[in-house]
Amino acid sequence: MCRITLLLMMTLTALPLNAGNPLPGNQSELIDIWGSVLYCRAIYEEPDIRGRIYEGDRDSCNEAHRSLGMHALESWPEEEVQTVFDHAQHKSAVIRYNTRSTQEAVAACRELCRAYND
């Protein structure tokens, strides 16, 4: 496995991925997870990926995004949630910049989104 692929897999799968994951307890963890989910949602819309994934994968990522957002709103004041979301978007952009092959990220994204889809 090439070094870039390994780095990507470690970035997306370093988070706990068991069913029934507890939602993030602090903002830093939420930024990491939410940023990864935002990245996954974005690559699922790319033309070369869009036709190769199941609609359920897209739905799973959208649900994970919704779940993380609701958790954030229940846990912190709205102003802090906006800041966390902004940082998560930045994290997503960093992941995107460092990813050489979005094709290789699809499996990791599938697992990540399912883990946070309640």
Domain ranges of the chain: 27-115
For residue 64, the tally of other CB atoms under 10 A from its CB is: 26
Task: Report residue 117's pLDDT band, with 50, 70 and 90 as the boundaries.
Answer: confident
Q: Which is more confident, 112 or 20?
A: 112
Confidence of residue 76 (pLDDT cuts 50, 70, 90): very high
Mean pLDDT calculated for residue range 72-98: 96
Q: Calculate the CA dihedral of residues 18, 19, 25, 31 and round it to 10 degrees.
A: 70
Q: What span, in angstroms and rounded, lies between the C-alpha atoms of 2 and 5? A: 5
Residue 19 has pLDDT above 80, yes or no: no
In contact, 109 and 95? CB cutoff 8 Å: no
pTM as predicted:
0.82
Integer Cα distance of 90 and 92 in angstroms: 5
